[in-house]
A and B are shown apart, each in its own frame.
Chain A
Amino acid sequence: SQTIHQWPATLVQPVGSPLSLECTVEGTSNPNLYWYRQAAGRGLQLLFYSVGIGQISSEVPQNLSASRPQDRQFILSSKKLLLSDSGFYLCAWSGDWDSGGYTFGSGTRLTVV
């Protein structure tokens, strides 16, 4: 069966510090991968998605970047965090071959102080 791992679960970082969040998927190949952010009390905002290694599409211009160095690995990064980067970051995957919904990782709660 397929599983998705996301870490760390919580993170407190000072303004101006770098960020690296990692997500890996097991039990499938060539998944579509997604990074979402959820601000407190808000809906999910799609940040990046990837349909293959090295293929990244950005949905919202901002202080973040994403990379997919391996088929089942998706990384979200920032060189310098802003206070507005605080939120709940969710990685998700879906099969390219079906029209089904996404499966989400457990999320990372990021607080920028």
Chain B
Amino acid sequence: QKEVEQNSGPLSVPEGAIASLNCTYSDRGSQSFFWYRQYSGKSPELIMSIYSNGDKEDGRFTAQLNKASQYVSLLIRDSQPSDSATYLCAVKSGAAGNKLTFGGGTRVLVKP
């Protein structure tokens, strides 16, 4: 069983719609959760972090965390073609070195 799982997609959404991305993790002791955006051929860029249950909003992005269900999600409102990218979910275990474990990523395509 993979430690962090995501649907690989592609998730195709029309411009202006909401894109909903999901991520599950296996380590119940995980405390920190992150979403990265990666454009093709580029390095990942941190877009959201969340540490406690509930919702966290930043601009058009909302991260949602449910530790009991070991589930974290990302909503992208008013999706734009520039949001087309692969979105990586990452979980930090708190163990030595503060290692981040990444999911395989969900590819999002926003169609004009």
Residues of A within 8 A of B (CB): 32, 34, 36, 42-44, 46, 49-51, 57, 59, 90, 94, 96, 99-107, 109
**B residues 38-55 touching A (CB-CB < 8 Å):** 41-46, 49, 51
The 8 closest A-B pairs by CB, nearest first: A43-B104, A104-B43, A44-B102, A101-B34, A101-B46, A107-B43, A49-B97, A99-B32
Q: Which residues of B contact A57 (CB under 8 A)?
A: 96-97
For the complex, count residues of B whose C-beta is within 8 A of A.
26
Query: Is A101 touching B105 in the complex (CB atoms < 8 A)?
Result: no
Question: Contacts A49-B99, A51-B97, A102-B100; is A107 near B42 (CB within 8 Å)?
Answer: yes
Q: Return A59 CB to nearest CB of chain B, in Å.
A: 8
Query: Is B44 touching A44 in the complex (CB atoms < 8 A)?
Result: yes
Q: Which residues of A contact B21 (CB under 8 A)?
A: none
How far does the alpha carbon of A33 sit from the alpha carbon of B73 in the complex, in Å? Answer: 27
Question: Contacts A42-B104, A43-B105, A99-B32; is A104 near B44 (CB within 8 Å)?
Answer: yes
Q: Which residues of A contact B32 (CB under 8 A)?
A: 99-101
Query: Is B98 touching A44 in the complex (CB atoms < 8 A)?
Result: no
Query: Is A101 touching B103 in the complex (CB atoms < 8 A)?
Result: no
**B residues 48-105 touching A (CB-CB < 8 Å):** 49, 51, 88, 90, 92, 94, 96-105
Minimum CB distance partner of B46 in chain A = A101
How far does the alpha carbon of A101 sit from the alpha carbon of B37 in the complex, in Å? Answer: 13
How far does the alpha carbon of A21 sit from the alpha carbon of B70 in the complex, in Å? Answer: 36
Q: Return A60 CB to nearest CB of chain B, in Å.
A: 12
How far does the alpha carbon of A57 sit from the alpha carbon of B98 in the complex, in Å? Answer: 12
How far does the alpha carbon of A103 sit from the alpha carbon of B44 in the complex, in Å? Answer: 8
Q: Return B10 CB to nearest CB of chain A, in Å.
A: 12
Q: Which residues of A contact B88 (CB under 8 A)?
A: 43-44
Question: Contacts A104-B43, A107-B43; is A51 near B96 (CB within 8 Å)?
Answer: yes
Minimum CB distance partner of A6 in chain B = B43
Question: Contacts A43-B103, A90-B43, A90-B44; is A99 near B31 (CB within 8 Å)?
Answer: yes
A32 CB contact (under 8 Å) in B98, B102, B104, B105: B98
